Amino acid sequence: MELPIIGITLGDGAGIGPEIILKALSLPWVYDFCRPLVVGNLSLLEDTQKSLGLSLKLQPVNDSLARAVFKPGQIAVWDFPRLKLSQIIPGKPDKYTGEAAYRYIKTAVELALNAEIAAIATAPISKQALQQAGYNYPGHTELLGELTRTRDYAMMLVGGDLRVVLVTTHLPFSQVSSRISADRVLRIIKLVDCCLPQWGVLHPRIAVAALNPHAGEGGLLGEEEQAHIQPAVTQAQKSGIAVYGPLPADSLFYRAIDGEFDAVLAMYHDQGLIPLKMRAPREAVNITLGLPIIRTSVGHGCAWDIAGKGLADPASLVAALKLASRPRL
């Protein structure tokens, strides 16, 4: 069987996306498990390659993937030639780089929906630049949901032996409580139970984190657990799902790492990502559950402070490519 073609979106060109892509694809063994196709700007990649001192052949393949060559030392690129290199300044995203990032993602999704590629792996984008370009999405996850016309989807981060699914994603903390409802929590529990077998977990054991300290202490420290989270867990249990909670978050993640649970539902971004990135600081991978296509991503941002300096680590992108390439059950 031929190895899967994985579309790699370049992300925000002012960030570290071009650098980590070239560094990852300069590793010959990456071609042992996938055929990578970069969806991005050829000129920017060529300029980045020069600054990194790499010697790779970049091949534009927009007219036909059939003629693309996938082998170490040669990178196939779905190019956007109208995007001007002179408008991209490392570390300074703007509406121009936001517009470009949107085009890369939209094209990769179309290729995946048409089964021309097997999956997509995304480099980081700037949410601010995306919105400056007129695309009002909190991040990749919501944009992918709309492009694929998907109603129920969720962000799952994988790092080592820990899987974390977010009930809310990129929100100010002051808005988190108002976005937590029994319906939302229940839908995500069901989504995790349905999707995890595709990622090798046949009988998922799902732990649901409480929002408040001590799981609300019977309402003394907050009412979200009694009003929303517990009813969702109880309903999911009645349908036969192996789900537990709400459990105090301060001890829950240790229990998951110890093997008691296969996935943790975190109520908000930092509740889930702090322990995950402590567990796997270099190789965390973001997976979007529920889409009709396979999408993985790096578990980090654009790293504006080191953009264009040659210091970026491609480990998370390599891990994302591995996950995107693995056979589904």
Residue 204: in which H helix or E strand, if any? none
Mean local confidence (pLDDT), 48-77:
92
Where along the chain do the CATH 3.40.718.10 domains lie? 1-150+291-329, 152-282
The pLDDT of residue 237:
98
- At residue 237's C-alpha, the angle toward residues 236 and 243, to 5°, is 85
Q: Was domain 152-282 assigned CATH 3.40.718.10?
A: yes
pLDDT of 325 strictly over 70: yes
Between helices 249-257 and 269-279, what is the axis angle to 10°?
Answer: 40
* pLDDT tens column, 284-310: 999 999 999 999 999 999 999 999 999
Residue 137: in which H helix or E strand, if any? none
Residue with the larger pLDDT of the pair 175 and 80: 175
Which fold, 1-150+291-329?
Answer: Isopropylmalate Dehydrogenase (3.40.718)
User: CA of 56: how far to CAs of 31, 72, 287, in Å?
Assistant: 14, 9, 29
Average pLDDT for the chain: 93
DSSP assignment of 29-85 equals GGGGT-EEEEEE-HHHHHHHHHHHT---EEEE-TT-GGG---BTTEEEEEE-TTS-G
The pLDDT of residue 182:
97
Global pTM reads 0.92
Alpha helices in the chain (DSSP H): 17-25, 42-52, 95-113, 127-132, 140-147, 173-179, 182-195, 224, 230-238, 249-257, 269-279, 315-325
Residue with the larger pLDDT of the pair 285 and 280: 285
Provide the pLDDT confidence category of residue 282 given band limits of 50, 70 and 90. confident
Query: CA–CA separation, 300 vs 311, rounded Å?
Result: 14
* pLDDT tens column, 203-251: 999 999 999 999 878 888 889 999 999 999 999 999 999 999 999 999 9
Provide the pLDDT confidence category of residue 329 given band limits of 50, 70 and 90. low
* pLDDT tens column, 111-152: 999 999 999 999 999 999 999 999 999 889 999 999 999 999
pLDDT of 67 strictly over 90: no
Query: CA–CA separation, 302 vs 15, rounded Å?
Result: 5
